[in-house]
Amino acid sequence: MSTVISPGTSTERQRALDAAATQLIDAASNATPCRPLREMLPDGTLDDGYAIQQLVHARTSSARRQVGRKIGLTSAAVQQQMGVDTPDFGVLFADMAFGDSEPVPMDRLLQPRVEAEVAFVLGNDLPEHPVTTTEVLRATDFVVAAIEIVDSRVENWDISIFDTVADNASSGLFVVGGSPRSLRDIDDLRTAEMTLTCNGAVSSSGTGAACLGHPVNAVVWLANVVAERGAPLRAGEVILSGSLGPLVPVEPGETYEATIEGLGSVRAAFTERS
């Protein structure tokens, strides 16, 4: 059972944040999901959530290379479910990346789900806040079909916005397709249709409009938020812009294929659990 900590002073608050970070780290290392973090910090804010996220990174990522960011909660329906009116973001590391059809080990995951997304790869740094749509379009080297494998260290996905922010926006792994496209070669990402299948059966579908009205809008939002926090987007980063349809629980041994109009397809092939 989680211990409730009521941070009154700055020292007590820091102790509470450290304890929450430890709970997430233990859940990952022991392959056993933990109780919701909000039970430990009932008054936890979004800033507290991001502080915990940074603590976990600081304590576990010394030998890992950051390669990008991910955006979550870009769907209006999911925001309504969470009781929020804003997306969230997490960090992507090189050891989270897989290629198209490369075996994805289930043993690295706890409660995985998959979602189809447009990945943006930046060719130039983005400026300090404020960042405009035009600047994101100019800075984007290419876009590519991607599958994000979201995962939660919180048992039964019993999460609030605070829980998921603290848990690196529920990041797991990600798969990027091998057919990059220039934004100039795509008619309209907003209306691009997405289909996610497993064994030929459609598991999820949607369009680019499901992602904050347009995937570019999501990247603009992220660019401004992280610049305000002193960590602007840089050339070479991979940006997972957000889901184009409902999440799908993963079955071990199955392969999930996402097809996005104008971007082709990408496959996440999961192993059996050992």
pLDDT in tens, 29-46: 999 999 999 999 999 999
Instruction: Please report the pLDDT score of residue 129 as a whole number.
Output: 82
Phi-psi sector, 48: left (phi>0), alpha (psi -120 to 50), beta = alpha
Least confident among 4-8, 26-30, 257-261: 4-8
- For residue 259, pLDDT beyond 80: yes
- For residue 12, pLDDT beyond 80: yes
Total Cβ atoms within 10 A of residue 62: 7
CA distance 230 to 133: 20
Instruction: Please report the pLDDT score of residue 62 as a whole number.
Output: 86
Instruction: Please report the pLDDT score of residue 5 as a whole number.
Output: 46
**Identity of residue 182:** S
Instruction: Please report the pLDDT score of residue 128 as a whole number.
Output: 85
Q: Please, what's the largest Cα pairwise distance for the chain?
A: 56
Residues 111-120 have pLDDT tens digits of: 999 999 999 9
3-state DSSP helix/strand/coil percent for the chain, to nearest 5? 35, 30, 35
Residues 129-173 have pLDDT tens digits of: 899 999 999 999 999 999 999 999 999 999 999 999 999 999 999
Locate all alpha helices (DSSP H) within 70-214, ordered by sequence. 76-82, 133-139, 161-166
pTM metric for this prediction: 0.94
**Identity of residue 146:** A
**Identity of residue 133:** T
Share of the chain above pLDDT 70, in %: 96
Instruction: Please report the pLDDT score of residue 3 as a whole number.
Output: 46
User: Can you tell me which residue has the tokens 């290392």?
Assistant: 29
Residues 45-91 have pLDDT tens digits of: 999 999 999 999 999 988 899 999 999 999 887 777 677 788 999 99
Instruction: Please report the pLDDT score of residue 9 as a whole number.
Output: 61
Locate all alpha helices (DSSP H) within the chain, ordered by sequence. 10-29, 46-60, 76-82, 133-139, 161-166, 215-228
The residues, any chain, with a CB within 8 Å of residue 47's CB and separated by 6 or more, are none
Write down all domains in the chain, each with its CATH number in brackets. Answer: 65-270 (3.90.850.10)
Instruction: Please report the pLDDT score of residue 138 as a whole number.
Output: 97
Instruction: Please report the pLDDT score of residue 1 as a whole number.
Output: 39
Instruction: Please report the pLDDT score of residue 2 as a whole number.
Output: 46
